[in-house]
Amino acid sequence: MPGIIVLLAILVLLAITVAKGVRIVPQGTEWIVERLGKYHSTLKPGLNFVIPYMDHVPYKLVTKDIILDVQEQEVITRDNAVILTNAIAFIKVTDPVKAVYGVTDFAEAIRNLIMTTLRSIVGEMELDEALSSRDKIKARLRESISDEAIDWGLTVKSVEIQDIKPSASMQKAMEMQAAAERERKAMVTRAEGQKQSAILEAEARLEAARRDADAQVTLADASAKSIQRVTASIGSELTPVLYLLGEKYISSLQKLATSENAKVVLLPADIQETIRGFIGKAAQTVGTT
């Protein structure tokens, strides 16, 4: 009975020893082997053998592309504007030994390096430049962290700026500034319109005055020609003149009678005698002259 127990114990120990000596590494990973506390070797994907109880696997690294999400942070630009920005990085472990022994936590190190470098790059730009230069920021960011990443056994494949936007207070200030700019442009447009309207009105008045002056000159010329023709036709005879004066008198009475403001029109009792008297007086006046 004791012999069976010893045999079972030996078999169990042997199984544990074999299990500790055989390592199957999955594809896309590499394992770091330490022997008696010191780095010994790196196990590649597949079947590997180590010395039981002497070799230990403390680190198992993923050699596929790793996605690192860089949290959102506030960044102050050169013109003291506050913007919010975050990023995402794609890295790959190319040297597992440096990734393990070169830095405590390479993922956290890369993440903090990106955040620090991003603040530095954006801090050298003004607000408008930072908001419109995403590709430029991305290129400078990748270039700045590549050297550090190589020292840690990493390759930075890409760094993408996920979002870059003004903070809430800054966005409100920008909206107020944009509204003020739109109002200024509207005022300038209205002022230009009023200016053009005033110019057109002045030009219209000037043109109307010129046309009125031309019309008055034309009427004066016509009156002068009319007088000349009447004088040439009448000559020294008074009868035509008296006839014209009587016609004007009667026409004036007609206009007075049809006027809207005229309520009562008084006429001489003997209008014929009145006309004769008027004509006589006119004839005497003409005779004396």
Query: By 3-state DSSP, what share of the chain in percent is helix, strand and coil, each rounded to 5?
Result: 60, 20, 20
What count of residues does the chain have? 289
pTM score, two decimals?
Answer: 0.56
Distance (Å, whole) CA 213 – CA 229? 24
pLDDT of the chain along its 289 residues, tens only? 677 787 788 888 888 888 888 889 999 999 999 998 899 999 999 999 888 888 889 999 999 999 999 888 888 888 888 888 889 999 999 999 999 998 889 999 999 999 999 999 988 888 888 888 888 888 888 888 888 889 899 998 888 888 888 877 666 766 677 777 778 888 888 888 888 888 988 888 888 888 888 888 888 777 777 767 766 666 555 555 565 666 666 776 666 666 666 555 555 555 555 555 555 555 455 445 4
Separation CA 289–CA 281 (nearest Å): 12
- Return the CATH superfamily for domain 66-169: Band 7 domain (3.30.479.30)
Q: Determine how many CB atoms are found less than 10 A away from the CB of residue 224.
A: 10
DSSP string computed for 139-179: HHHHHHHHHHHHHTTEEEEEEEEEEEEE-HHHHHHHHHHHH
Contact indicator for 101, 34 with CB cutoff of 8 Å: no
Q: Give the torsion sign (CA, 201, 202, 207, 210).
A: positive
**From residue 253, how far is each of 61, 195, 225, 242 by CA, in Å?**
122, 50, 27, 17
How many contiguous H segments (helices) and E segments (strands) does the chain have? 8, 8
